[in-house]
Amino acid sequence: MTRTALLMVLLGALAACGGAPDNNGNPHNSTESEKDNPFEPEPETGAEQETPTETTEPTDAEAAEATVRGDVETAVYTPASGGSAATLTLTGLSLDETPIAAVYTRTPALDRPGYTAFLRQDDALDRHATVYADTAGSGAVTAVLAVTGGQFNRYFGGVHFERSGNYTPPSALDSDTGLVTYAGQYIGLLNIRGDGATLITPEPGTDPSLIPVDAAEVTGRILINVDFADNTLNGGIYDRIFVDSTVVVGGRPLDNIALVEGVLNPEDGSFYGNVEREGQIGQDIGDFAGVIGGEDGAGLAGGIYMTDFDEGLTNEEEYGIYVLDQCGTPDATDPACAGVN
């Protein structure tokens, strides 16, 4: 099982104002670096940002999927139906609860557009875990995102995605369906502290070094084009906003993300590819992976892991998911679908 080793990014400005303690994952404590605030702009280098300085490293399917799945082993998400609330159980996320399969609490206050929220914190001194989930393609594909806040110099996170039923792509011989677009909402969780609104309040006098934090969120929109004739895909994540944090009032825009060099497996509908910042051609910052399912490829679900994705942050990491309906199907409501065939 992969264990994420990088530290939870905590903001020096907050620590100075009485925020969560530095040893809950602040990578900026070393005297080797005086830059404590991830939002402090990087010094200008004078180089053209769009000039590639390296070639994107090739990625294989197994490695990309392992990177995206991270610490998460399995997840079972059941959407709300009739009078029954949505439920979620998950394994692999360390220290979220004593049982091997942890049951998470439905938390409507944390819902984001298109995604159902859950959380888990056993007590005030245990890790806080945030989870988002959704289905698409009439329930044929599912993705689950889970990330803990920082505590004791570590955080854990990852993505689960799956398909139910067989893979039945659109006919690549039909020019009207060989190239297909999926569009919808994106949700991400960061190794940056959230606003703490759902943390259990510790007892008065608790040493600050013991208190965990929660993970901040990113919302956005995503569009993915899939060529079923050539078994390739690419896309972009845009309108990215940093939310649910003590750092920024009203949210802060984040850089757009490009999904490049995507490869579709024609046998099982799985896919993978590389991640770049928009305009940073050839500079690989992560991987994406997922699966297509439903009748005629009606739904697409997957995840992403990336680092160093924003000029104003330092040591940042993000896990995210996208659960999308195919444009032109009855469940596809994203405005971007209006501009495609």
Residue 245 is predicted with a pLDDT of 61
Q: Contact, 292 vs 170, CB < 8 A?
A: no
Residuewise pLDDT in 10s, the chain (341 residues): 444 434 444 433 333 333 333 334 433 233 333 333 333 333 333 333 333 334 455 468 899 999 999 999 889 998 998 888 899 898 877 644 444 567 888 989 889 999 999 998 776 777 888 999 999 988 999 999 999 887 777 888 999 999 999 999 887 666 666 889 999 999 999 988 888 888 768 889 888 888 778 888 999 999 999 999 899 999 999 999 988 765 554 578 899 999 999 999 999 999 999 999 999 899 999 999 999 999 999 999 999 999 999 887 888 999 999 999 999 999 899 999 998 87
Q: Contact, 137 vs 299, CB < 8 A?
A: yes
Q: What is the pTM of this model?
A: 0.81
Residue 290 is predicted with a pLDDT of 97
Residue 122 is predicted with a pLDDT of 77
HSE-CB at 29 with a 13 A cutoff on CA atoms is 13
CATH 2.40.160.90 given to domain 12-38+56-339: yes
Residue 41 is predicted with a pLDDT of 36
Report helix, strand or coil for 67.
Answer: helix
Positive or negative: CA dihedral 100, 106, 107, 113: positive
DSSP E strand boundaries for 164-202:
179-193
Distance CA 128, CA 108 (A): 16
Q: Contact, 187 vs 163, CB < 8 A?
A: no
Q: Which of 176, 141, 172, 113 is nearest to 270 (CA)?
A: 141
Residue 144 is predicted with a pLDDT of 96
Q: Which of 313, 315, 321 is nearest to 42 (CA)?
A: 313
